[in-house]
Amino acid sequence: MAPRQPASPVLTFLIEFEQAFLLIKRSRREKNYPGFWAFPGGKVEIGETIIDTMKREVAEETGLRLKPRLILLDSYAFKRSVGLGILVLSWSNRVKLAPREASEYAWVKTLKNVKKYRRVPGIDNHLQRAKAELRRPRWQNFNALDLSAGRFLNR
């Protein structure tokens, strides 16, 4: 029997623009929680950093460009996956959904707004953390966190 491949880390992005956060309605073709509302996200591919994955997934799923700042919110486990919740900032709220990824989107400001959507379990926790972090921001710069070969910091 072949050994099991380790699962790729999963990233969940709380994309903020003017105190609102982007929710997307997952495609009906999704394996986990089809048709549920969630924050955008995806798996880290082999050879990618978390920063690479974040830029790629956000661009693919939403068409948004991110400001080069982030805050690590939390970590989570789901079935055979482990993940990170990451707060990021968008330059705009003009979303261009990838039809294969999501069918609708909404910008929400409060937990009360989120509760009207049939959503993936656990995302309320991400939102609460994101709102708390916006009150006391400790932003990290993308480039400072990327220590891939050829991109090391000179100190």
Q: What local confidence, expressed as pLDDT, does residue 42 receive?
A: 92
Q: What is residue 138's predicted lDDT score, i.e. its pLDDT?
A: 83
**How sure is the predictor about 36, in pLDDT bands with cuts at 50, 70 and 90?**
very high
Residue 2 above 70 pLDDT?
no
pLDDT averaged over every residue in the chain:
88
Lowest mean pLDDT among 36-50, 56-70, 100-114, 140-154: 140-154
pLDDT surpasses 70 at 3: no
pTM of the predicted structure, to 2 decimals: 0.88
Percent of all residues in the chain with a pLDDT value above 70, rounded to a whole number? 90
Instruction: Decide: 74 and 85 in contact? Cβ < 8 Å.
Output: yes
Q: Are 11 and 57 in contact (CB under 8 A)?
A: yes
What pLDDT score was predicted for residue 14?
97
Q: Tell me the C-alpha distance between 150 and 153, whole Å.
A: 9
| Domain-wise residue ranges, the chain | 10-145
Residue of 136 and 61 predicted with greater confidence = 61
Q: Of 51, 56, 67, nearest to 98 (Cα)?
A: 56
In the three-class reduction of DSSP (H, G, I as helix; E, B as strand; rest coil), residue 128 is classed as helix
Is residue 4 predicted with pLDDT exceeding 70? no
Dihedral sign computed on CA atoms, order 105, 10, 36, 130: negative
Query: Looking at residue 85, what is its pLDDT?
Result: 95
Answer whether residue 87 shows pLDDT above 90: yes
Pick the CATH number of 10-145 from 3.30.750.24, 3.40.50.2000, 3.40.50.2300, 3.90.79.10: 3.90.79.10
